[in-house]
Amino acid sequence: MKTVQRTWLLALPSGALMALVLAALQASALGALLAPHHLRAQVTYDRILRSADEPENWLTYNGTYMSQRYSGLTQITAANVGDLESKWVLQNQVFGAWQSNPIVVDGIMYMTQRPNDVMAMDPVTGRVFWVYRHRPDENATVCCGANNRGVAILGDKVFMGTLDARLIALDAINGRPIWDIEVADVNLAYSITMAPLVVKDKVIVGVGGGEYGIRGFIAAYDADTGEEAWRFWTIPGPGEPGHETWEGDDWEHGGASVWVTGSYDADLNLTYWGVGNPGPDWNPGQRPGDNLYSDAVVALNADTGELVWYFQFTPNDGYDYDSVQVPVLVDIEWNGVPRRLMLWANRNGYFYVLDRVTGEFLTGTPFVKVNWSSGLEETGRPIPTPQPAGSPTWPGNQGGTNWYPPSFSPSTGLFYFSAWEDYATIYRPAEAVYTPGRAFLGGGFDVLTPVPGAPGVGIGRTTPINNWTDAVGHGTVIAMDPRTGEARWKFEQFDVSDAGMLTTATDLLFTGGREGHFHALDARTGELLWKASLGGQIVMAPITYMVDGRQYVSVISGHTLVTFGLREGANP
């Protein structure tokens, strides 16, 4: 089936006459040449590098290359957060959990909606300027919903990965496609669900499809032409370091997908990416060895894609503990010495601190109940304690946390993330046979705990608790002190949470829950300061931005984007 793309100009920016003239000019090469420079979105690499200096914008998936999801905006405070009110809402045209992250650039919001649309909007009113629609190939296959988590921008181009494993560059002014390239073979169940990361003149993406026996990789493409600049295979081939951690031809279909956006340290010129689980998912005996670089973070040279270091969190993972969590980069004192660190709350239930220059393991502590491992060695390697057949494993298949973005506040010095506590799974390994484009899972699992909304159909099913009275799963926001590995405070939720975090310079923490409540907490104490009931599960992190001197906070609830601002007359 031929892929079809369309761009719809739904509305025009304010100043109708000028907008019409500009639209006409843009229709020709001469018009593009003559268009006033300030009317064309120009986002240079230098601006992204210094994005913390312009907190009125949200220029990348995680706000900055450090991925702290911390904003320097100060208009909304603990004193006036109670005056927040809804300013506008926008509904996704495709029903389902909307996981996109908007970016905001000089008064224009860009975001994706399911399955593969890109929209340019007015961030003050929600008015849509244009929509680009990509219709994925009919053979596109994804394991966990037709989700796209956002776009990247560089110069006057907006970039989106697609469910049929393509990368597309659009004109940021009118949404027209500039180039459209194949990243991987859709017929082998490759996909792209993550927001790209722009570094210098390159657009970097990873591929999904770990549940279908792909061989994962991360690749960089020239932002002007779409030409591939480099590719790093997350499963090393014959003759490459790490290949010995696979047996026979297991490496050919070993998964290790990359489906959450990475981070970047410009001084080191290293880009960091979390890698997903090996395949088949739940039968580690079918693929003996550590299975590098699955369940690891890899540090790559941003110019060449060369591996500089790696750290593996869960060797020979048999629990689906993808390590695709966001690498959060911080510069703080460690034992009295300034260090460049990486903070990582892992799906396997441990919180890690690594030296991001060398990959050295500094500390690791469990933040939820863990029984698949009895602890960590001095190197950070886990000491495995696999449970007997039919017995529960903590944390369960969804993990102690998952892909939803955490936050670090330089103001409080704390690391914030959502956790699933007291949640376990009983695994049922089985031999899997690889068939191109088909699920390659190695068995299944039973969800032990009565977590509302936990997977209960298909490859997983809900099982009664029986005698495991401590297996009552619930969601918690944890404020972690990275220096001690201890929780400074916890905010308990009625349901589990898939929500990410946002912190601000006024010591506010914005997050949500699966039950649809959007919270503003005191980032120092965890006190609930304000909440709004939005009606749908929150499965993404909020963002904040400022236009014409007014600060806004946007969050997705269910399939609706809701934007808040202070009510008229409120004290800023």
Burial level of 241, CB count in 10 A (0-12/13-18/19+)? exposed
Decide if 544 contacts 502 (C-beta within 8 A).
Answer: yes
Query: Which letter does DSSP use for residue 344 in this model?
Result: E
At 363, list the tokens: 């500390």
Dihedrals phi, psi of 491, to nearest 5 degrees: -115, 105
Q: What is the C-alpha to C-alpha distance for residues 64 and 164, in angstroms, rounded to an integer?
A: 28
Dihedrals phi, psi of 104, to nearest 5 degrees: -125, 125
Q: In the sheet that 270-274 helps form, which strands lie side by side, from edge to edge?
A: 263-265, 270-274, 296-301, 307-312
Local structure of 46: helix, strand or coil: helix
Dihedral sign for Cα atoms in the order 239, 243, 248, 250 = negative
Decide if 440 contacts 456 (C-beta within 8 A).
Answer: no
Q: Give the CA-trace dihedral at 551, 150, 16, 86, to 10 degrees.
A: -40
Q: What is the C-alpha to C-alpha distance for residues 529 and 219, in angstroms, rounded to an integer?
A: 43
Local structure of 24: helix, strand or coil: helix
Local structure of 32: helix, strand or coil: helix
Query: Of the listed 164, 281, 320, 498, which one is catalytic?
Result: 320
Query: Which letter does DSSP use for residue 383 in this model?
Result: E
Distances in Å between the Cα of 398 and the Cα atoms of 115, 334, 401 are 23, 31, 7
Contacts for 465 with CB less than 8 Å, ≥ 6 apart: 448, 449, 450, 471, 472
Active site residue 295: no
Dihedral sign for Cα atoms in the order 95, 99, 103, 104 = positive
Active-site residue set: 320
